[in-house]
Amino acid sequence: MEPKLVVWTSIWPWRPDARIRFDITGPPRGSATLCWTLIVDEPVPDRETTVRMRKRVNELINANLRFTFG
């Protein structure tokens, strides 16, 4: 059985409540679609902090994953 939902605990020591939720859709074999959502408790970080957090997730998921597979 393939996972359809994965949740990472926080990657930010200063924000332990922040979680990254990955929703995986698609056929059991073949192309899958990955959608990630950054979830935080109140107080919601300001815009600048949110942008930095999103950028870090993008680097980990998109850039580093591409480099792993060449």
Determine the pLDDT at residue 29.
76
pTM of the predicted model over 0.85 = no
**Number of structural domains, the chain?**
1
Name, in order, each residue with C-beta under 8 angstroms of 26's C-beta and a sequence gap of 6 or more.
Answer: 32, 33
Determine the pLDDT at residue 13.
97
Q: What's the CA gap between 56 and 19, in Å, rounded? A: 13
Q: Model confidence over 12-26: pLDDT tens digits? A: 999 999 999 999 898
Determine the pLDDT at residue 65.
65
Q: Model confidence over 29-43: pLDDT tens digits? A: 778 888 999 999 999
Task: Give me the domain span that covers residue 35.
Answer: 5-68
